[in-house]
Structure 1
Amino acid sequence: MDRSTNLDIEELKMTREQYILATQQNNLPRAENAQLYPVGIYGWRKRCLYFFVLLLLVTMIVNLAMTIWILKVMNFTVDGMGNLRVTKKGIRLEGISEFLLPLYVKEIHSRKDSPLVLQSDRNVTVNARNHMGQLTGQLTVGADAVEAQCKRFEVRASEDGRVLFSADEDGITIGAEKLKVTGTEGAVFGHSVETPHIRAEPSQDLRLESPTRSLIMEAPRGVQVSAAAGDFKAACRKELHLQSTEGEIFLNADTIRLGNLPTGSSSSSSPGPSHSRQTVHELCVCPNGKLYLSPAGAGSTCQSSSNICLWS
């Protein structure tokens, strides 16, 4: 035990001596020619650092000013920006709005007190597509024409919803009570026209005319032409045919007049005062159906005046 205690005392003495020596070395005066090394950024590096810090500060100020200016110009609010307002029912646009890219919406409607106007420098096209993206209908409003591409086009009345006009591949249907053509040339049809009734407006004349071709009216159960408060006139340049294959032609009137019929004369009759004053004539028929007049006598004079039939 005594030996170990002596060793510990000696180690403590050595440690104490080393501490005293180290302390004495630190307290020694430094040499006058000792070199000093400054710590930090000096010279052109310091100027560059200050320049970049100043540039960053200016950029931040400009960005902040531009952001405030954009918010001011675009009128950003809690409800939206500019003319755009976000409501519970959807998006509301005030004033004139321009869309440079396609617009996909479910419904577009205007305010209750203003109309909805779609305007374009070229044309306005409305497309309808199915769930596969295929085009099923298209409406194009252009400067020269309005085009609609669909399977069926309908125009309905606003009151009862009945179809006023419809068009498809099978035909065109006009459901209005009256079809009115106000052009001076009337209506021109390139092919046949099927209708159960053709009527003119009150106090107006109805005229069916074919200037260069024939006019044909056909019906499986008959054609009825009626003029309840006026005259009925049929005029042609060459021949007017009234033909009935199985029935008869019935003329029912108080007075039936056939004008400009030729008057036949017999070879034996000589012109004189009595012949010039002839007011009563007999109606004669040639074998080919031509009608002519013959001076009336005590008996039939058609045979004596049959020279009309020879030249017909």
Structure 2
Amino acid sequence: MEQSATLDIETLKITQDQYILASHSLHLQRPACDAVYPVGLYGWRKRCLYFLLLLLLVTMIVNLALTVWILKVMNFSVDGMGSLRLKQNGIHLEGVSKFQRPLYVNDIQSRRDSWLLLRSDKNVTLNARNKEGQLTGQLTVGPEAVEVQCQRLEVRDGDGGRLLFTADEEEVAMLTDRLTVTGAEGAVFEHSVETPLIQARTSEDLRLESPTRSLTMEAPRGVEVSAARGTLGISSRKDLQLESTEGEILLDASSIRLGSLPLGTHAGSPSQAIQKQAVYEVCVCPSGKIYLSPAESSSSCQAMSNICLWS
């Protein structure tokens, strides 16, 4: 009995101690939450923010003012800008326009009452390209020359219908009725010339000359050289050759003169008779050389003449 009483007393003490601990734990003071942290920008951060906002406002005002000034100076409108007007069929420019970069257009036209002037400090170049971007034609107007690069060059009249001049890799053709050369030195051709007629102006002489080489005139049906109201002169430093392969050479005139023909002699002709001779006959050597021989009762032309022997 004593032992059980002792256990109950100890159990009661333990329970009392737990109650005391529990009551003390309920009366513990919680940590105070009196510290307050402010929210926002204060001090130098606030001043920097206001300064940035003020700088942004000033920048916007200056930008707006510059935009208005540019619109006023450049004369912007709904139709275009300044001398530039936007239309349905293209762009209309008035006055002088400068382009510092390449200009790509399909058509350039001037006003009906004014000229179209293209001006450059160096040169003016017009390029034509195909769909692949390859250069097919180029016109360059420079300070020293005008250069054209194309497969075929054509020049037409004012109406654009009649072809006047063509040039390609094979030939150059002039399709006009008359080609007039007004230079003092005439026209110089380094190679052959094919033409149906060469005619001088009225009251002017026609001169065909080759200073250092030979001059040849050929035609399948004949060559006609005529001077209707003047003289015809043919001179050569060396040989003058008239040749007809199938026909004949005809010298038709009221008077035909062969000047400076050599005088031939034959054996047995006295020298005194030759000196007093007044009438001569024209002889032809087998080689074709022409000379004079004293006329007698019979022909005095001999193949053994000194002219024929030395020809």
Aligned to 1:210: 210
Aligned to 2:17: none
On the 8 A contact 1:261/1:291 being kept in 2, the answer is yes
SS in 2 for 1:97: coil
On the 8 A contact 2:124/2:141 being kept in 1, the answer is yes
Cα shift at 1:123: 2.4
Q: Quick one: distance in 1 between partners of 2:301 and 2:169?
A: 62
Structural RMSD (CA): 2.8
Q: Quick one: distance in 2 between partners of 1:39 and 1:195?
A: 106
Q: Quick one: distance in 1 between partners of 2:38 and 2:285?
A: 147
Cα shift at 1:229: 1.5
The answer to whether the aligner puts 1:85 opposite 2:89 as a matched pair is no
On the 8 A contact 1:155/1:163 being kept in 2, the answer is yes
SS in 2 for 1:138: strand
Aligned to 1:247: 247
On the 8 A contact 2:285/2:303 being kept in 1, the answer is no
Report 1:126-275 matches (<5 A). 126-159=126-159, 161-265=161-265, 268-271=269-272
Give the aligned residue type for 2:94.
E
Q: Identical aligned pairs, as a percentage?
A: 65
Alignment coverage as a number of residue pairs: 277
Residue by residue, what CA displacement relative to the aligned partner does 1:141-192 show, whole Å, maximum 9, x if unpaired? 2223222222221100113620000112331110112112233332222222
Structure 2 gaps, min length 5: 1-33
SS in 2 for 1:85: strand
Query: In 2 relative to 1, CA 228–85 (structure 1 residues): closer, same or farther, beyond 3 Å?
Result: same
Query: In 2 relative to 1, CA 268–137 (structure 1 residues): closer, same or farther, beyond 3 Å?
Result: closer
Residues 95-104 or 35-44, more deviating: 35-44
SS in 1 for 2:63: helix
Cα shift at 1:227: 1.4
Q: Quick one: distance in 1 between partners of 2:160 and 2:59?
A: 67
Residue by residue, what CA displacement relative to the aligned partner does 1:258-293 show, whole Å, maximum 9, x if unpaired? 10112234655243xx76554322222223222222
Q: Quick one: distance in 2 between partners of 1:101 and 1:264?
A: 85
Aligned to 1:306: 305
TM-score, normalised by the number of residues in structure 1: 0.78
Give the aligned residue type for 2:188.
V
Give the aligned residue type for 2:192.
S
Query: In 2 relative to 1, CA 131–156 (structure 1 residues): closer, same or farther, beyond 3 Å?
Result: same
Aligned to 1:94: 94
Greater than 4 Å deviation, 4+ residue runs: 34-42, 265-268, 274-277
Cα shift at 1:42: 4.6
On the 8 A contact 2:127/2:135 being kept in 1, the answer is yes
Query: In 2 relative to 1, CA 64–246 (structure 1 residues): closer, same or farther, beyond 3 Å?
Result: closer
Structure 1 gaps, min length 5: 1-33
Residue by residue, what CA displacement relative to the aligned partner does 1:47-90 show, whole Å, maximum 9, x if unpaired? 33332333223222211221122112222122211221112332
Give the aligned residue type for 2:112.
K
Residues 182-191 or 110-119, more deviating: 182-191
Cα shift at 1:297: 3.2
Q: Quick one: distance in 1 between partners of 2:99 and 2:183?
A: 41
SS in 1 for 2:191: coil
Q: Quick one: distance in 1 between partners of 2:117 and 2:303?
A: 85
On the 8 A contact 1:284/1:294 being kept in 2, the answer is yes
The answer to whether the aligner puts 1:75 opposite 2:70 as a matched pair is no
On the 8 A contact 1:265/1:305 being kept in 2, the answer is no
On the 8 A contact 2:286/2:303 being kept in 1, the answer is no
SS in 2 for 1:136: strand
Q: Quick one: distance in 1 between partners of 2:168 and 2:136?
A: 14
On the 8 A contact 2:156/2:164 being kept in 1, the answer is yes
TM-score, normalised by the number of residues in structure 2: 0.78
Aligned to 2:279: 280
Cα shift at 1:231: 1.4
Q: Quick one: distance in 2 between partners of 1:268 and 1:171?
A: 63
SS in 2 for 1:52: helix
Query: In 2 relative to 1, CA 247–53 (structure 1 residues): closer, same or farther, beyond 3 Å?
Result: closer
On the 8 A contact 1:261/1:293 being kept in 2, the answer is yes
